[in-house]
Amino acid sequence: MNKKIWKEFYEGHCLNAYEIFGAHINEKKKGVDFTVYAPHAQSIQVIGSFNGWSCEDHMMKKIDDRGCWTCFVKGAKAGDMYKYRVTQATGRVVDKIDPFAFYSELRPNTASIIADLSYDKWKDEEWVKNRSKGMHEPVNIYEMHIGSWKKAEDVEWINYKEIAKDLITYLKRNNFTHVEFMPLNEYPFDGSWGYQCSGYYSATSRYGTCHDLMYLINALHKANIGVIMDYVPVHFVKDDFALSYFDGTPLYEYEKACDADSQWGTANFNLWKEEVRSFLMSAAAFWIDKYHIDGLRMDAISNIIFWHGNKQLGANDGALDFIRRLNYNLSHKFKGVMLIAEDSSDFPKVTHSTLDGGLGFDYKWDLGWMNDTLKYLEKDPIYRKWHHNQITFSMAYFYSENFIMEFSHDEVVHGKKTIVDKIWGTYEQKFSQLRTLYMYMFTHPGKKLNFMGNELAHFREWDETKENDWFLLRYPVHDAFHTYFATLGKLYKKHPALYENDYDYHSFQWIDADNADENLFSYIRRSEKKDIVVILNFSPNTYEHHAFGVLEKGSYRQILNSEEDIYGGCGIGNAKACRAVKKECNHLPYTIHVNVPPFGGVMLEVKKAEKAQ
């Protein structure tokens, strides 16, 4: 028994508790070793398909006075189902899942399943060795729910392996660099999408086996696509078969109901408790270690920062200590793995180093940018001039954190409407503004994330029981937008000005941030060799030969116009390059004159003059 792991587990510093806890196949002894943490249990038996679910033969032995129990079951093997029959501190007898189970039955059944996680088909050694956090690289993330991306005929769920070929082809065609899977851990209720978790180490059996998931991730890596997974360190399901009051006491949850009861009807983890910290840190490390995950997007971080996510209730200091410890340890053990916060609060230094008092995340979703931008586009253009700052405000705070610009699943469910449907106007006007919105997103500093269906201009809100509306691509306006979206991704990856120095304020400069009367926004994305000028028109007016200030002399060539015919636009644009003249405009030394289409966006490229040696 590894004494170092035991010591670290009890002290709250363990990242590999899964190496001793759970069900481990013992080839030498031809059976399985079971180990569980339940300090207040009176007794525990291992029951399963190998002993007729009887508690007579396999009593667990308490191996220390701090609460760990173990048992060896001869003849047990991979694929066998099992549970722990726990006589709790109160004397109540309950059959519980293994908190460290590596696999589980498909709901509504709840048994844990012995799994062999060895996999000899990994071919991603170079990928894992060279992966990075992407700070100076293009990061274009496709967020998806595996179960509703595509549906297979005559089966409820598509398999991890079956989806691999089509998914990779689709991601490459649309110029995504990463895929982000909504939680892959086990969970009992389909409608929670995995965010109400029961099995923190258990790959959900909805989509296949552990090895099927490994196959998918390996294939994605071979195609140079990074894999991010949603991870939920805040709360867990209250179902009696799972973690809730595991040994008859609040083992994983807070002792007081006012602290333990979450707003989702789940139980909040007691993040002050060292063993709970080790459980969650090890779970995060487990997915990176065993499944080669390249990043973790951590859900509901505001509920870690503040009690119940409410600033008025004060900071949760114990939870803050936990998240700093988690991020510090993961960053040091797994170089190049992204740690991403979904945080709706204004708490400072979320993406700053823990050594500087930060929380240690690499990125944070920019929920403020998302909300402000969509609120602006919901308004009639007549009134947008009074809300001009909803577009410009993001750059006032952008450099305080490492932000990801996101339109996630949360924005397209529960009566919120989809992205295109939120926008003011007629059907045609919605699409024109949608194209300009996405030009804004892809040229704004920060990495990018879109939920599946956004690239199709989905009008139907997301429903986890239905696949994407792929039939939309039979309609010219949707097919044209899909082409436009892929083109934006291609340009984003091609031009260093759009990604290389996202978090350096020198890479962005407003041309005119104050033209509220015309609903115009113009700015420059800068790089060493080429600048990109971006002009966005959120009005229905055409601006012909409109003057804009620029920094460099030279010829400004249009590289994308959201109103080009091939994208379903009106065709107004700039067939010829715009030549800069030596005349001050917008407090900049040169002027170009650009045709700006109604509700349109224009991107212009200029090659910088080489400096004399």
pLDDT in tens, 392-419: 999 999 999 999 999 999 999 989 999 9
Domain ranges of the chain: 18-113, 505-607
Supply the CATH classification number for the domain 505-607: 2.60.40.1180
Which of 143, 275, 342, 564 is the catalytic position? 342
18-113 is classed in which CATH architecture? Sandwich (2.60)
pLDDT tier at 154 (50, 70, 90 boundaries)?
confident
Q: Which helix (H) or strand (E) holds 448?
A: strand 447-451
Supply angle C-alpha 528, 530, 532, rounded to 5: 120
Q: What is the pLDDT of residues 304-353, one digit of tens each?
A: 999 999 999 999 999 999 999 999 999 999 999 999 999 999 999 999 99
pLDDT at 437 over 90: yes
pLDDT at 156 over 90: no
The verdict on whether 563 is a catalytic residue reads no
Which of 8, 275, 294, 299 is the catalytic position? 299
pLDDT for position 612:
47
pLDDT for position 610:
64
Bridge-based pairing state of the strands 68-74 and 112-113? unpaired
Least confident of 101-105, 148-152, 368-372, 524-528: 148-152
Average pLDDT over residues 195-214: 97
The verdict on whether 240 is a catalytic residue reads no
Residue that the structure tokens 């082809």 belong to: 169
Percent of the chain with pLDDT over 90: 95
18-113 and 505-607 agree in CATH topology:
yes
CA–CA dist 378, 369 (Å, integer): 14
pLDDT for position 1:
58
CA–CA dist 500, 508 (Å, integer): 11
Six-digit token pair at 450? 């879109």
pLDDT tier at 589 (50, 70, 90 boundaries)?
very high
pLDDT at 613 over 60: no
Q: Which of 577, 485, 560 is nearest to 525 (CA)?
A: 560
Residue that the structure tokens 């715009």 belong to: 578
Transcribe 280-293 into DSSP letters: HHHHHHHHHHHH--
pLDDT at 611 over 70: no
Q: What is the pLDDT of residues 231-263, one digit of tens each?
A: 999 999 999 999 999 999 999 999 999 999 999
- Asked if residues 115 and 201 have their Cβ atoms less than 8 Å apart, the reply is no
Mean pLDDT of the chain: 96
